[in-house]
Amino acid sequence: MVTITFLVTLVGTLFLIAGIDVFMYKQSFFISIYKLFAEDQGTNEIYVDSALVVGFILALIVDFRIHKNKRSKES
């Protein structure tokens, strides 16, 4: 559930950011989304990309632990 929540929140927030860009800069929604994922030259976006991957892995670990605890309680 934590992983699903992580993904839904991420998608929701990215859609919100893209929506704001559509409103502010009068560009299409798909271009806004593309710009979000395009790696800008000379920036260090790779750091936050890595942080996001770590966040996703942590969400998977938490889910695995919840599942394990549930199974050990049942048995």
Partner 1 sequence: MSKSLVEKISLWQLAVLIFIFEIGSVAVVGVGNESKQDAWLAVAIATGIGICLISFYMFLLKKLPGKNIFEIFTFCFGKWFGKVISFLYVLYFVYIASRVLRDFGELITTVIFETTPIEVVMITMMMVICYMLYLGLEVFGRTAEVFLPYVFSFILLIGIAILLSGEMEFENLQPVLAEGFGPIMKHIFPKLLTFPFGELVAFLVIIPAVTHFDKAGKVSGFAVLVSGFIIMYQKFIAIVTLGPEQLDRTVFPLLSAAREISLLQFIERVDLVIVFIVMFGIITKVSVFFYAGLKGLEHLVNLPYRYFVFPIAAIICYCSVQISANYAEHIEEGLKFIPFYMHVPFQILLPIAITPLLIWKGKKQQRGTDKHGSV
- What does the block give as tokens for 28? 């299409």
Q: CB count, 10 Å around CB of 18? A: 20
Residues with Cβ within 8 Å of residue 7, at least 6 apart in sequence: none
Q: Does 51 bind partner 1 (CB under 8 A)?
A: yes
CB of 25 to partner 1, least distance (A): 9
Q: Does 72 bind partner 1 (CB under 8 A)?
A: no
- What does the block give as tokens for 3? 């992983």
Q: Which residues bind partner 1 (CB under 8 A)?
A: 1-2, 5-6, 8-10, 12-14, 16-17, 20, 23-24, 36, 40, 43-45, 47-49, 51-52, 54-56, 58-59, 62, 66
